[in-house]
Amino acid sequence: MEVYNEKELYNSIKDAYLSGKKVMIIGYGKHSNPRKSDIYLKIKMDYYKIEKEGYVEAYAGASVDKIREEASEYGLLLPCLYDGSIGGLLANNEFSPLSTRYGKPYDFTEKVFFITLFGKISWKIIIGSKGRLGAIYKARLKLFPKPTKVFTFEKSFNKKDETIAYVNKLMHLKPLAMLVEYDGKYTIHASYDFDAEIHGFSKDEGVATIEENNSRNGYYVNTPTIEDFMNAIEDTQPIYAYTVVGSGISKFYVADEDVIKKLNYFTHDDLPRVYWKLKAILDFKNIFA
Protein backbone atom coordinates (compact mmCIF):
# COMPACT_ATOMS: atom_id res chain seq x y z
CA MET A 1 0.00 0.00 0.00
CA GLU A 2 1.39 3.40 -0.98
CA VAL A 3 0.92 6.47 1.21
CA TYR A 4 1.42 10.03 -0.07
CA ASN A 5 0.74 12.26 2.96
CA GLU A 6 0.58 12.30 6.75
CA LYS A 7 -3.17 11.75 6.90
CA GLU A 8 -3.01 8.63 4.73
CA LEU A 9 -0.13 7.33 6.83
CA TYR A 10 -1.95 7.82 10.13
CA ASN A 11 -5.22 6.34 8.81
CA SER A 12 -3.37 3.28 7.49
CA ILE A 13 -1.72 2.73 10.86
CA LYS A 14 -5.03 3.24 12.66
CA ASP A 15 -6.80 0.78 10.34
CA ALA A 16 -4.09 -1.81 10.96
CA TYR A 17 -4.55 -1.39 14.70
CA LEU A 18 -8.35 -1.69 14.54
CA SER A 19 -8.17 -4.77 12.32
CA GLY A 20 -5.39 -6.41 14.35
CA LYS A 21 -2.96 -6.55 11.42
CA LYS A 22 0.82 -6.31 11.34
CA VAL A 23 2.33 -3.47 9.32
CA MET A 24 5.86 -2.92 8.01
CA ILE A 25 7.11 0.51 6.92
CA ILE A 26 9.07 0.50 3.67
CA GLY A 27 11.03 3.20 1.86
CA TYR A 28 12.88 2.01 -1.23
CA GLY A 29 13.21 -1.49 0.20
CA LYS A 30 16.95 -1.64 -0.57
CA HIS A 31 18.33 -1.92 2.93
CA SER A 32 15.89 -4.00 4.97
CA ASN A 33 14.79 -7.59 4.60
CA PRO A 34 10.98 -8.00 4.43
CA ARG A 35 9.55 -9.09 7.75
CA LYS A 36 6.32 -11.08 8.03
CA SER A 37 3.46 -8.56 7.86
CA ASP A 38 -0.12 -8.24 6.71
CA ILE A 39 0.38 -4.74 5.28
CA TYR A 40 3.47 -3.15 3.73
CA LEU A 41 3.27 0.64 3.80
CA LYS A 42 5.44 2.23 1.11
CA ILE A 43 6.23 5.84 1.98
CA LYS A 44 5.88 7.96 -1.17
CA MET A 45 6.22 11.42 0.44
CA ASP A 46 9.28 12.63 -1.46
CA TYR A 47 9.30 16.41 -0.97
CA TYR A 48 12.38 18.15 0.44
CA LYS A 49 13.76 21.68 0.72
CA ILE A 50 17.39 22.72 1.20
CA GLU A 51 17.83 25.83 3.30
CA LYS A 52 20.76 28.16 2.69
CA GLU A 53 21.39 28.25 6.44
CA GLY A 54 22.73 24.70 6.12
CA TYR A 55 19.75 22.43 6.75
CA VAL A 56 17.46 20.23 4.73
CA GLU A 57 13.86 19.53 5.66
CA ALA A 58 12.75 16.31 4.01
CA TYR A 59 9.86 13.89 4.04
CA ALA A 60 10.60 10.22 4.58
CA GLY A 61 10.30 9.21 0.93
CA ALA A 62 12.81 11.79 -0.32
CA SER A 63 15.90 10.42 -2.05
CA VAL A 64 19.14 10.78 -0.09
CA ASP A 65 21.07 10.74 -3.39
CA LYS A 66 19.04 13.64 -4.81
CA ILE A 67 19.42 15.67 -1.62
CA ARG A 68 23.15 15.06 -1.57
CA GLU A 69 23.48 16.09 -5.23
CA GLU A 70 21.44 19.27 -4.83
CA ALA A 71 23.19 20.19 -1.57
CA SER A 72 26.51 19.81 -3.40
CA GLU A 73 25.42 22.49 -5.87
CA TYR A 74 25.12 24.89 -2.91
CA GLY A 75 28.55 23.86 -1.62
CA LEU A 76 26.98 21.75 1.15
CA LEU A 77 27.40 18.16 2.24
CA LEU A 78 24.91 15.63 3.62
CA PRO A 79 27.51 13.44 5.37
CA CYS A 80 26.46 9.91 4.50
CA LEU A 81 26.85 7.45 1.63
CA TYR A 82 23.39 5.89 1.96
CA ASP A 83 21.50 5.36 -1.33
CA GLY A 84 17.90 4.99 -0.15
CA SER A 85 15.26 7.29 1.30
CA ILE A 86 15.54 9.70 4.23
CA GLY A 87 13.17 7.47 6.21
CA GLY A 88 15.42 4.47 5.61
CA LEU A 89 18.54 6.45 6.49
CA LEU A 90 17.08 7.39 9.87
CA ALA A 91 15.35 4.08 10.58
CA ASN A 92 18.65 2.24 10.13
CA ASN A 93 20.99 4.95 11.50
CA GLU A 94 23.67 3.36 9.32
CA PHE A 95 27.27 4.42 9.82
CA SER A 96 29.58 5.24 6.90
CA PRO A 97 33.25 6.19 6.50
CA LEU A 98 32.19 9.83 6.98
CA SER A 99 31.04 8.94 10.51
CA THR A 100 34.63 9.54 11.66
CA ARG A 101 34.05 13.30 11.48
CA TYR A 102 30.28 13.75 11.31
CA GLY A 103 28.89 10.86 13.31
CA LYS A 104 25.92 8.68 12.41
CA PRO A 105 22.60 10.09 11.11
CA TYR A 106 21.37 10.52 14.69
CA ASP A 107 24.17 13.01 15.29
CA PHE A 108 23.39 15.32 12.35
CA THR A 109 19.59 15.13 12.60
CA GLU A 110 18.10 18.14 14.36
CA LYS A 111 14.46 17.01 14.46
CA VAL A 112 12.49 13.98 13.35
CA PHE A 113 8.74 13.42 13.31
CA PHE A 114 6.96 10.08 13.31
CA ILE A 115 3.44 8.71 13.57
CA THR A 116 2.12 6.11 15.97
CA LEU A 117 -1.32 5.22 17.29
CA PHE A 118 -0.95 8.28 19.54
CA GLY A 119 -0.61 10.54 16.51
CA LYS A 120 2.35 12.76 15.61
CA ILE A 121 5.45 12.67 17.84
CA SER A 122 8.81 14.48 17.61
CA TRP A 123 11.53 12.50 19.38
CA LYS A 124 14.99 11.53 18.11
CA ILE A 125 14.82 8.16 19.89
CA ILE A 126 12.99 6.89 16.78
CA ILE A 127 16.29 7.04 14.84
CA GLY A 128 17.71 3.52 14.57
CA SER A 129 14.46 1.78 15.58
CA LYS A 130 14.09 -0.02 12.19
CA GLY A 131 10.45 1.07 11.82
CA ARG A 132 9.32 -0.90 14.86
CA LEU A 133 8.18 2.01 17.04
CA GLY A 134 6.32 4.04 14.44
CA ALA A 135 6.53 5.50 10.94
CA ILE A 136 9.03 8.31 10.32
CA TYR A 137 7.50 10.86 7.97
CA LYS A 138 9.63 14.03 8.17
CA ALA A 139 13.01 15.23 9.44
CA ARG A 140 15.31 18.24 9.56
CA LEU A 141 18.98 17.42 9.05
CA LYS A 142 22.10 19.53 9.30
CA LEU A 143 24.29 20.05 6.24
CA PHE A 144 27.98 20.90 6.35
CA PRO A 145 30.42 22.82 4.14
CA LYS A 146 31.44 20.55 1.28
CA PRO A 147 35.19 19.86 1.02
CA THR A 148 36.62 21.14 -2.25
CA LYS A 149 39.12 18.27 -2.45
CA VAL A 150 39.39 14.92 -0.69
CA PHE A 151 42.56 12.83 -0.59
CA THR A 152 42.64 9.24 0.68
CA PHE A 153 45.88 7.68 1.89
CA GLU A 154 46.06 3.89 1.95
CA LYS A 155 48.47 1.31 3.31
CA SER A 156 48.29 -2.35 4.40
CA PHE A 157 49.86 -3.87 7.50
CA ASN A 158 50.33 -7.38 8.84
CA LYS A 159 50.99 -6.47 12.46
CA LYS A 160 48.30 -5.41 14.91
CA ASP A 161 50.49 -3.04 16.98
CA GLU A 162 51.83 -1.25 13.90
CA THR A 163 48.29 -0.75 12.56
CA ILE A 164 47.06 0.69 15.86
CA ALA A 165 50.03 3.05 16.06
CA TYR A 166 49.38 4.42 12.55
CA VAL A 167 45.63 4.79 13.17
CA ASN A 168 46.27 6.83 16.31
CA LYS A 169 48.89 8.93 14.52
CA LEU A 170 46.59 9.63 11.55
CA MET A 171 43.65 10.50 13.80
CA HIS A 172 45.68 13.40 15.20
CA LEU A 173 45.51 14.97 11.72
CA LYS A 174 41.68 15.09 12.07
CA PRO A 175 40.59 12.99 9.07
CA LEU A 176 37.31 13.36 7.24
CA ALA A 177 36.99 9.57 7.22
CA MET A 178 39.01 6.66 8.59
CA LEU A 179 38.18 3.16 7.39
CA VAL A 180 40.15 0.10 8.50
CA GLU A 181 39.57 -3.21 6.69
CA TYR A 182 40.68 -6.71 7.62
CA ASP A 183 40.92 -9.60 5.16
CA GLY A 184 43.89 -11.45 6.60
CA LYS A 185 45.82 -8.19 6.71
CA TYR A 186 44.87 -4.72 7.90
CA THR A 187 44.36 -1.87 5.42
CA ILE A 188 43.99 1.74 6.53
CA HIS A 189 42.09 4.25 4.36
CA ALA A 190 42.52 7.75 5.80
CA SER A 191 40.69 10.59 4.01
CA TYR A 192 41.44 14.30 4.47
CA ASP A 193 40.07 17.51 3.03
CA PHE A 194 43.64 18.73 2.53
CA ASP A 195 46.75 17.20 0.95
CA ALA A 196 48.42 15.81 4.07
CA GLU A 197 52.09 14.89 4.27
CA ILE A 198 51.89 11.13 4.91
CA HIS A 199 54.89 9.12 3.83
CA GLY A 200 54.75 5.48 2.79
CA PHE A 201 51.04 5.53 1.85
CA SER A 202 49.54 5.48 -1.63
CA LYS A 203 47.34 8.52 -2.41
CA ASP A 204 44.11 8.82 -4.35
CA GLU A 205 41.21 11.27 -4.58
CA GLY A 206 37.79 10.66 -3.03
CA VAL A 207 36.57 8.71 0.01
CA ALA A 208 37.02 4.94 0.28
CA THR A 209 33.68 3.09 0.34
CA ILE A 210 32.41 -0.39 1.15
CA GLU A 211 30.09 -2.42 -1.06
CA GLU A 212 27.49 -3.43 1.51
CA ASN A 213 24.98 -6.25 1.60
CA ASN A 214 22.59 -7.59 4.22
CA SER A 215 23.82 -11.18 4.08
CA ARG A 216 23.05 -13.41 7.03
CA ASN A 217 26.69 -13.86 7.98
CA GLY A 218 27.26 -10.11 8.50
CA TYR A 219 27.21 -8.89 12.10
CA TYR A 220 27.59 -5.47 13.67
CA VAL A 221 29.91 -5.35 16.68
CA ASN A 222 30.27 -2.58 19.23
CA THR A 223 33.97 -1.63 19.20
CA PRO A 224 34.54 1.71 20.95
CA THR A 225 38.25 1.82 20.05
CA ILE A 226 40.57 0.53 17.33
CA GLU A 227 42.07 -1.76 19.97
CA ASP A 228 38.63 -3.29 20.56
CA PHE A 229 38.29 -3.91 16.82
CA MET A 230 41.66 -5.67 16.69
CA ASN A 231 40.92 -7.76 19.78
CA ALA A 232 37.56 -8.83 18.30
CA ILE A 233 39.35 -9.96 15.14
CA GLU A 234 41.75 -12.08 17.18
CA ASP A 235 38.81 -13.62 19.05
CA THR A 236 36.72 -14.47 15.98
CA GLN A 237 39.09 -14.73 13.00
CA PRO A 238 36.48 -13.34 10.55
CA ILE A 239 36.50 -13.85 6.79
CA TYR A 240 36.33 -10.09 6.44
CA ALA A 241 35.73 -7.16 8.80
CA TYR A 242 35.88 -3.40 8.79
CA THR A 243 35.48 -0.50 11.19
CA VAL A 244 34.98 3.23 10.82
CA VAL A 245 37.27 4.73 13.42
CA GLY A 246 35.34 7.07 15.69
CA SER A 247 31.95 5.46 15.04
CA GLY A 248 32.25 2.79 17.73
CA ILE A 249 30.84 0.21 15.30
CA SER A 250 32.42 -2.51 13.16
CA LYS A 251 31.01 -5.09 10.79
CA PHE A 252 32.21 -8.67 10.82
CA TYR A 253 31.57 -11.42 8.27
CA VAL A 254 31.98 -14.88 9.76
CA ALA A 255 31.20 -18.37 8.51
CA ASP A 256 29.95 -19.61 11.89
CA GLU A 257 27.61 -17.48 14.05
CA ASP A 258 28.83 -19.23 17.21
CA VAL A 259 32.21 -17.50 17.01
CA ILE A 260 30.59 -14.05 17.16
CA LYS A 261 28.37 -14.79 20.16
CA LYS A 262 31.14 -14.00 22.63
CA LEU A 263 31.06 -10.35 21.45
CA ASN A 264 28.59 -7.50 21.91
CA TYR A 265 27.00 -7.92 18.47
CA PHE A 266 23.74 -7.42 16.60
CA THR A 267 22.42 -8.11 13.11
CA HIS A 268 20.99 -5.62 10.61
CA ASP A 269 17.39 -6.15 11.76
CA ASP A 270 18.10 -6.48 15.49
CA LEU A 271 16.92 -3.83 17.94
CA PRO A 272 18.86 -2.73 21.03
CA ARG A 273 17.15 -3.55 24.31
CA VAL A 274 16.07 0.05 24.96
CA TYR A 275 13.84 0.01 21.86
CA TRP A 276 12.01 -3.10 23.00
CA LYS A 277 11.18 -1.29 26.25
CA LEU A 278 9.89 1.72 24.34
CA LYS A 279 7.92 -0.53 22.01
CA ALA A 280 5.81 -1.69 24.95
CA ILE A 281 4.71 1.95 25.34
CA LEU A 282 4.61 3.38 21.82
CA ASP A 283 3.44 0.19 20.11
CA PHE A 284 1.62 -1.59 22.94
CA LYS A 285 -0.43 -3.64 20.45
CA ASN A 286 2.75 -4.68 18.61
CA ILE A 287 1.42 -3.80 15.15
CA PHE A 288 4.79 -2.62 13.73
CA ALA A 289 6.73 -5.57 12.36
Q: Does the pLDDT at position 160 exceed 90? A: yes
Q: How confident is the model at residue 216 (pLDDT cuts 50, 70, 90)?
A: low
**Burial class of residue 148 (count of CB atoms within 10 Å of its CB; 0-12, 13-18, 19+):** exposed
- Phi then psi for 64, rounded to 5 degrees? -65, -40
Number of H helices, E strands in the chain: 7, 18
Parallel/antiparallel/unpaired status of strands 2-3 and 39-43? parallel
Three-state DSSP at 274 gives: helix
Q: How confident is the model at residue 172 (pLDDT cuts 50, 70, 90)?
A: very high
Q: Residue 99: what pLDDT?
A: 97
Q: Whats the size of the chain, residue-wise?
A: 289
Q: Residue 212: what pLDDT?
A: 66
Q: Residue 106: what pLDDT?
A: 97
Architecture of domain 2-146: 2-Layer Sandwich (3.30)
Q: Does the pLDDT at position 132 exceed 90? A: yes
Q: How confident is the model at residue 124 (pLDDT cuts 50, 70, 90)?
A: very high
Q: How confident is the model at residue 255 (pLDDT cuts 50, 70, 90)?
A: confident
Sheet holding 119-122, edge to edge: 48-51, 55-59, 135-142, 109-116, 119-122
Note the pLDDT tens digit of each residue in 176-185. Answer: 999 999 999 9
Q: How confident is the model at residue 226 (pLDDT cuts 50, 70, 90)?
A: very high
Q: What is this structure's pTM? A: 0.91
**What average pLDDT score do residues 96-103 get?**
96
Q: Residue 29: what pLDDT?
A: 66
Quote the CA–CA distance of 55 and 45 in Å, as a whole number. 19
* Dihedral Cα 118, 120, 125, 128, nearest 10 deg: 100
Give me the residue spans of the domains in the chain: 2-146, 151-267
Nearest to 221 by CA among 186, 187, 261: 261
Q: Does the pLDDT at position 242 exceed 90? A: yes
Mean of all residue pLDDT scores within the chain: 92
Is residue 191 within 8 Å of residue 207, measured between CB atoms?
A: yes
Q: Does the pLDDT at position 211 exceed 80? A: no
Q: Does the pLDDT at position 213 exceed 60? A: no
Q: How confident is the model at residue 22 (pLDDT cuts 50, 70, 90)?
A: very high
Q: Does the pLDDT at position 215 exceed 70? A: no
Q: Residue 27: what pLDDT?
A: 80
